[in-house]
Structure 1
Amino acid sequence: MQKLNFPDYKFRFKNSDNKISVFDEIRRKFILLTPEEWVRQHVVHFLLEEKNFPKSHLNVEKIVKINGLNKRYDIVVFQPDGKIFLIVECKAPEVKISQGTFDQIARYNMTLNSVHLMVTNGLNHYFCQMDHEAEQYVFLPDVPPYTPAL
């Protein structure tokens, strides 16, 4: 798989019927290794190891209803009070991050109401904080690390 713009992480792989799978620490199972899954697994490790979010606060590949349609978000990070802190949209490295990508995560956020957004293709990462009153993104240099409630 392609080298991504993340630190090097240790992954568990399995080869079955000439198909490679990677172990997802959150879903606790092996997932078929696609380019998008490679990015998603790097983001999971980034959030756990670099930003210190507890595993119990991460949710991966769950269905969310958007305008009556079932959609699937990539990663959501919850705050201790159950509110959503971060939504992550992952794309394969060959997929260019476009306005359409931001529109997609914004549609998800209309339902999920997160404070922060992250969009990545593994090579380019964009971090935003939502200004709900002005209905706009405020770009950040990085996603804030986990800080437990005092």
Structure 2
Amino acid sequence: MIQVTFPQPAFRMKEEEGKELIFDEIRKQWVRLTPEEWVRQNLLQYLIQTKKYPASFIGVEKEISLGELKKRFDVLIFDRHHQPWMMIECKAMDVELSEKVVEQVVRYNMSVSVPFLVVSNGSYTYAWAKKENRLISLAELPEFE
């Protein structure tokens, strides 16, 4: 497990039609503040503020194809050559990071191949590096290259 300490955020929030919204700085839009979105927004701030990943190299909630299925990944980080580098699957804090969750991000990786895979529910974060068709568990997230 990787220890992630979320930085103090300066989120912009509002309420509309009885629903809480949060402004996503990456997507440049207001989105509904669900438990999963809370994890995603805090993790994004950790990546940008603490790990110094450039915000301009981060994609959020983009559609990918898995055969004939259309799915959305949570976070995709690109390297300096604009190649997919890290895929992150976020879950709400009350969702266990089971083998099923790991399989989900591995399936997404079949469509968009990346060297690093991450799953997080805000309380727990796990990451792997892909080496020779195997997943190697990481003790911390890699530095952005």
The runs of 5 or more residues in structure 1 that have no matched partner are: none
CA–CA distance in structure 2, aligned partners of residues 67 and 5 of structure 1: 37
Is 2:78–2:84's contact at 8 Å kept on the other side of the alignment? yes
Q: How does 1:78-97 map to 2 (within 5 A)?
A: 78-97=78-97
TM-score with structure 1 length normalisation?
0.90
In angstroms, what is the RMSD of aligned CA positions? 1.3
Percent identity for Structure 1 against Structure 2: 36
The runs of 5 or more residues in structure 2 that have no matched partner are: none
Cα distance, 1:49 vs structure 2: 0.7
Is 2:7–2:45's contact at 8 Å kept on the other side of the alignment? no
Equivalent in the alignment of 2:139: 141
Runs (4+) off by over 3 Å: none
Equivalent in the alignment of 1:61: 61
Q: Match for 1:65: what amino acid?
A: S
Count, aligned residues: 142
Q: Which deviations, in whole Å up to 9, do the C-alpha atoms of 1:58-81 show, x marking residues without a partner?
A: 000000001221000000000011
CA–CA distance in structure 2, aligned partners of residues 57 and 41 of structure 1: 15
Q: How does 1:113-128 map to 2 (within 5 A)?
A: 113-128=113-128
Q: Bigger relative contact order, structure 1 or 2, given CA contacts below 8 A and separation 6+?
A: 2
Q: Does the C-alpha gap of structure 1 residues 5 and 55 become closer, same or farther in structure 2, counting only changes over 3 Å? A: closer
Pair 1:12 & 2:12 matched: yes
- Greater mean alpha carbon deviation, residues 10-19 or residues 73-82: 10-19
CA–CA distance in structure 2, aligned partners of residues 80 and 68 of structure 1: 30
Q: Which deviations, in whole Å up to 9, do the C-alpha atoms of 1:70-112 show, x marking residues without a partner?
A: 0000000000112111000000111000001110000111111
